Structure 1
Amino acid sequence: MAKAFQSRATLSAAAVAALLSTAALAQPADDSALVARGQYLATAADCMPCHTSDKAKPFAGGLALNTPFGAIYSPNITSDRSTGIGQWTYDQFVNAVRNGIRKDGAYLYPAMPFDAYTGISDDDMKALWAYVRRVPPVPNTPPANQLEFPFNIRLGMLAWRELFFTDARLAPTAGKSEAWNRGAYLATALGHCGDCHTPRNIMGATKPKAHFLGADVDGYWAPDIASAALTKSGWTPQTLAAFFATGSAPGKTSVFGPMGEVVHDSLSKLTDADRTALVTYLFDAPPPKDKPAPQAASPLPADVYARASALYIDNCAVCHMDKGAGRGDTVPALAGNPAVVAAEPYNIIMAVLGGLPTGGTYGAMPSFAGRLGDQQIADLANYVRTSWGNTAAPNVTASMVAVWRATAHVPDYGTQAASSFTCPDVGGAPGTDGPDPQAVAALSAMMAGGQRSIPMMVDAYKAASGSSSSGTVVDALTAAYCPVVAKSDAPDWQKTQELRRFTLQAALEVSRRTVSGPVDSQPIAWALPAGPGLVLQQPASLADKIACPADDGKAVPADLSAAATKLLGPVKPPLAGDAIATAATTLYQQNPKARPSDVANALILAYCRAVVQVQTSVAEQNALLNQFAGQAVQTLQLLPPRKVAVEAPAATPAPAAKK
């Protein structure tokens, strides 16, 4: 769009010569080659014409770019420190040119062709910076943009960037000649030919399926320059190269309109080798892609991607920004976030369902349980787990979300809903989807008698009640265990945490039965984060020998692992339950910023190294380690919630299903 929808001022040859002469006097002698290269690249990229309104003030901006959404005025890119980019750093320059984000963090509109310039190489960016920073300062403040609502709100670019933009360098295509690859670089990155010769959608993004097929430019038609169209129209590589050099092709046409300025200011000033390379590419350009780059990179089906990207834009992007970049120390990034890309998706599910409290420098995250349904949360979680370089498996299902949503029926201690310990009701009107009262009563009797095997109780409930949804199974086990907990003499907060501990473990068991495809796990009992809490996961099978995870800082933070090893000391298994509880509580209190799951796993890892030294059977080693892991996790689950500097607004608990 840089050259699309615009009337440009052509700078006289004398003015350009004077400008370059002044820049040459200012530059250090040992930088002259880099500056000269940057000048050539800026010419190939057609920078000066778009950033010049008054030819007496080159590069000072103010040119009106007449888009369908209103007028956008090009900025001043001279070295003026007040109105230009004289106070910018190299990194800020690169972020603007290749990523469309200016110095103050605001998004640039795609009238600046950063969607093409993102392909510019690092070496060329350094040369461009060496040249541009030596452009003499010209004080000039361009007029304010005249865009219509809602296009005048830069934050609206979030959706555009999420759907259509990928920050990526242009890589050479294997099997193509050096000239072809150079031509591809000139056409798609520096020269941004597609920005004028490709039609745009209603959001102002070029249409992938119509690449190079022609578009209206400021009242002129930029013709179809796809390979087939060039050949069909009678162009040859020789006539097209001559046209780029002179603006005229014998027997064909003479240049006019905006293309005349492109030829005069850019193409005619390229080397013969670059013009030949450009022509080589255009006569053998690949067929247009059928999807925008972000969608093409996604493993999700097209319909799921469309739903999920819209959900992210509507619910997440304002805080987590486009591409999951986050907001520094205020909102965490989702791209590359270990909790997001973990093999088990329970952490991200719980975060969306229950929100997160204020922690460290991060603000609170609200709950989306009342706003989004199970399928919507599944789509959203899979989108986040597979976008922006995240390569986690898209293994979240609506059934799995229903399981974890059921855990919200146990309110957090300290909220108004948990001011007294009460058990959820079961049963209800005929035909309603809720736990079966008779099956729940049978389970409750089993638990009162000492039965605590969650897998067995899941199977027993399903057999007694018939086919049930996964969320209902968790509801049933929670309702059955609650009366047992209520009879204890523990304080209300401890009853609530014990019920929540049981419910999370029930959700884990049911979730594992809903996963489509393998879910990686540690070879020993391991603590998994579930929202702000943690859940104990048993190993899938009994291995031939105990295999402790590597103590390399990946499974457990290195500093926490060292602290756990020091705390346990030269321990000799078995360790008494109260000693395990004391160790878990101590390490948790000594590391107030650590996740409970990391505290548990640091202790498990340290104890595992002691267990493997015990001269006994593998089964006995597993029993020793499982007993330790279960006690450590249960201790951490039952600790009172940590106090935070600013309490997050209490999320309204999800209402229990009508019974």
Structure 2
Amino acid sequence: MAGFKKRPFKTLALVAAAVAGVSAPAVAQGTSQAPADDAALVDRGAYLARAADCMPCHTGDPKKPYAGNLPFNTPFGRMFSVNITSDPTYGIGTWTFDDFKNALHNGIRKDGAYLYPAMPFDAYTGVSDTDLKALWAYVRRIPAVAEPRQANELSFPFNVRLGLLAWRELFFDASYWTPTPGKSDQWNRGAYLAEVLGHCSDCHTPRNLMGAVKQKQHFLGADIDGYWAPSIDAAQLKKDGWTKDALTQFFTNGSVPGKTEVFGPMAEVVRESLAYLTAADREALVTYLLDSPPPKDVPAPQAASPLPADVFQRAAQSYVDNCAPCHGAGGAGNANVIPSLKDNPAVTAAEPYNVIMAVLGGLPAGGTYGPMPSFAGRLSDQQVADLVNYVRTSWHNGGMANTTPAMVAAWRATANVPTYGTQQASAFDCPQVGGAPGNTGPDPQAVAAITKMMQGGERQTRLLIATYQNADTDASAGTVVDALTAAYCPVVAQTQLPDWQKAGELQRFTLQVAAAISEGLPGASMPPVSTIWATPTGTSLVARQPTQVAAQLTCPDPTNAKLVPKALVDAAVTLVGKPAVPVTGDAASRFATTLLQQNPKARRSDVANALIVAYCPLVTAKPNTVVAEQYSLLTNFGQQVVQTLQLGAPQFNASAQ
């Protein structure tokens, strides 16, 4: 997406991000402390910023340099560049050097969100710390401009940043640039300028449907927002008659008599960037472009993997679907909450059994880590083997891809996995309703009618509930949930999803119906707060999710006895105390068990909600957390409590209490 710019021919200008007299950048990276404020470093950074064409990309209004809002037309919608002035509200005035480095090297902005590859972090990841520090020394001194950024106009699903997880797994490898052995210092300098600082391929290489450059067509030209960025691979440059002297002259003043004259956006590139290159850097750039290597066959992450291409892509998607929501992109984990899979000795051990067993059987909570569920019911033996091999060999892990389906099958047969974890139990099947003498379950005709409604596209939960209740006026809440589940199941079964995804979608719908119908039950009023809320339904509990996460996490009012008995809240506050957040899964389970033992006559949904009320203020008081993180911490705690109460009393009937 980075190539779809208003100024499509500026890529060659971006290769100018270098400083006179600086040799090939050091590969070894040192500390990430903020650089000193010496004038030489700032001047060097100013050269980098101007030579790299930073200002034109980050300037929509010429009167407001670096204040962003330059539109980028992409196949996925319209995007706007960001404000990189020192303004603390709309710019990057509150950033540190580590924030700046994380954005350029890892593609992650200050608030932890993934950057869209319209910002070419896939190239900048190779920039040396030496150059980053010089650039930061200048950028953080850009005069503040209080200019809010225009919202991106992206279509679904490209407007969901979490969707970038798949992009990052398949196409992004956060690693520093390394010189090519056997090549001259000048050639390597040119390679660093063209491939890293200049990110030439962003404009001069076509992109696939996911917005990643096509490696096999590196430098072969691309259509950019109505313009053609020509082929600049070595063979084509020579075929078109470009010599070292001619290309050097073109980069100097945009004119080669008798051959070409710069025009349009490229004129700005020459005027604002290429004209400021030193002779040494320009010569290095030309040397590399006229001798650039043949294109790579595959993206960097796949190139570093021992897995076959089709296996790598399937396993990467499996990791995104099953593991990345907790373990994150690149297996990085989450501090003391979720363990890292990268550089983890247990993951890269000689034998893969530890990882196989974790996937099949899950892991209990321990230390500061919460529990990990079993994935045995979701994944076949082949899928588990592929996933384990992917985790052991990705992100520069040094494990071996030595897991086989037969090995997984053997461990599945002997492991203590849930009953749904057998391969036979993982097959998707729909419940049968009606037909038996004296059947008191859902009405089959009403179920069939609702199935037709849903096949026609109807998905409004409350409308579907009301439709069934009109047809079966004596139905209990549990029967309504069963009826709608049975009605939706054939609709899901007709999709092309794998069985485990069908089961997951049906479970999601069932919980949605259960939460919706619970709102109408006595004692199950829903508070207007952005927290999860345990509600009784049938013979168990369900964690009701809020419709959206508010701009500020709002805790339930502990004095509102209509929601939870105040005495129970007081007991929960005393029991929980003021521990460090997050508490472990074991601690959350212990709170639930203890509070229920202390109040044996209390409704279990009230016990869960009393603990949520007690824990919520601790979460909101946790320093340096954004709303999304607070919501995640509270949700994890609440779900652990609800699960403990469910498992502790599988036959509990909430309506009888």
Q: Kindly indicate whether residue 259 of structure 2 is the aligned counterpart of residue 259 of structure 1.
A: no
Counterparts of 1:322-341 in structure 2, within 5 Å, are 322-341=329-348
SS in 1 for 2:347: helix
Task: Please name the residue that 2:373 is paired with.
Answer: 366
Structure 1 counterpart of 2:321, from 308, 314, 319: 314
**Letter of the 1:355 counterpart:** G
* Change in 2 beyond 3 A, CA 1:160/1:389: same
Task: Please name the residue that 2:240 is paired with.
Answer: 233
- Native 8 Å contact 2:346 2:354 kept in 1: yes
Counterparts of 1:158-557 in structure 2, within 5 Å, are 158-408=165-415
Q: Which runs of 5+ in 2 are unaligned?
A: 11-34, 423-585, 588-638, 648-657
1:526-583, CA deviations, whole angstroms, 9 ceiling, x for partnerless residues?
Answer: xxxxxxxxxxxxxxxxxxxxxxxxxxxxxxxxxxxxxxxxxxxxxxxxxxxxxxxxxx
- Native 8 Å contact 1:9 1:52 kept in 2: no
Distance in 2 of aligned mates of 1:280 and 1:399: 53
**Letter of the 1:280 counterpart:** T
Q: Kindly indicate whether residue 45 of structure 2 is the aligned counterpart of residue 34 of structure 1.
A: no
- Native 8 Å contact 1:9 1:54 kept in 2: no
1:263-307, CA deviations, whole angstroms, 9 ceiling, x for partnerless residues?
Answer: 222112111111111100000001100010000101122232122
- Native 8 Å contact 1:8 1:52 kept in 2: no
- Native 8 Å contact 2:376 2:417 kept in 1: no
Task: Please name the residue that 2:157 is paired with.
Answer: 150
Task: Please name the residue that 1:522 is paired with.
Answer: none
Distance in 2 of aligned mates of 1:373 and 1:191: 44
SS in 2 for 1:277: helix
Distance in 2 of aligned mates of 1:104 and 1:410: 38
- Native 8 Å contact 1:357 1:647 kept in 2: no
SS in 2 for 1:5: coil
Distance in 2 of aligned mates of 1:163 and 1:115: 12
- Native 8 Å contact 2:9 2:265 kept in 1: no
Task: Please name the residue that 1:4 is paired with.
Answer: 4
**Letter of the 2:97 counterpart:** Y
Shift of 1:351: 1.0
Counting aligned pairs with the same residue, the percent is 67
Q: Kindly indicate whether residue 92 of structure 2 is the aligned counterpart of residue 85 of structure 1.
A: yes
Shift of 1:344: 2.2
Shift of 1:313: 1.8
- Native 8 Å contact 1:237 1:280 kept in 2: yes
For normalisation by structure 1, the TM-score amounts to 0.59
How many residues in Structure 1 have an aligned counterpart in Structure 2? 407
Q: Which runs of 5+ in 1 are unaligned?
A: 11-27, 418-423, 425-591, 594-643, 652-659
- Native 8 Å contact 2:97 2:136 kept in 1: yes
- Native 8 Å contact 2:108 2:115 kept in 1: yes
**Letter of the 1:248 counterpart:** S
1:206-233, CA deviations, whole angstroms, 9 ceiling, x for partnerless residues?
Answer: 0110000000112110000000000001
Q: Kindly indicate whether residue 72 of structure 2 is the aligned counterpart of residue 65 of structure 1.
A: yes
Distance in 2 of aligned mates of 1:42 and 1:260: 18
SS in 2 for 1:363: coil
* Change in 2 beyond 3 A, CA 1:381/1:251: same
- Native 8 Å contact 1:164 1:294 kept in 2: yes
Task: Please name the residue that 1:529 is paired with.
Answer: none
Distance in 2 of aligned mates of 1:9 and 1:354: 54
- Native 8 Å contact 1:9 1:55 kept in 2: no
- Native 8 Å contact 1:358 1:646 kept in 2: no
* Change in 2 beyond 3 A, CA 1:87/1:30: closer
**Letter of the 1:5 counterpart:** K
SS in 2 for 1:288: coil
SS in 1 for 2:50: helix
Q: Kindly indicate whether residue 107 of structure 2 is the aligned counterpart of residue 100 of structure 1.
A: yes
**Letter of the 1:342 counterpart:** A
SS in 2 for 1:72: strand
- Native 8 Å contact 1:121 1:170 kept in 2: yes
SS in 1 for 2:346: helix
Distance in 1 of aligned mates of 2:385 and 2:141: 52
- Native 8 Å contact 2:9 2:229 kept in 1: no
Shift of 1:259: 2.6
Distance in 2 of aligned mates of 1:54 and 1:229: 37
Q: What RMSD, in angstroms, separates the aligned Cα atoms of the two structures?
A: 2.6
For normalisation by structure 2, the TM-score amounts to 0.59
- Native 8 Å contact 2:8 2:203 kept in 1: no
Shift of 1:239: 0.8
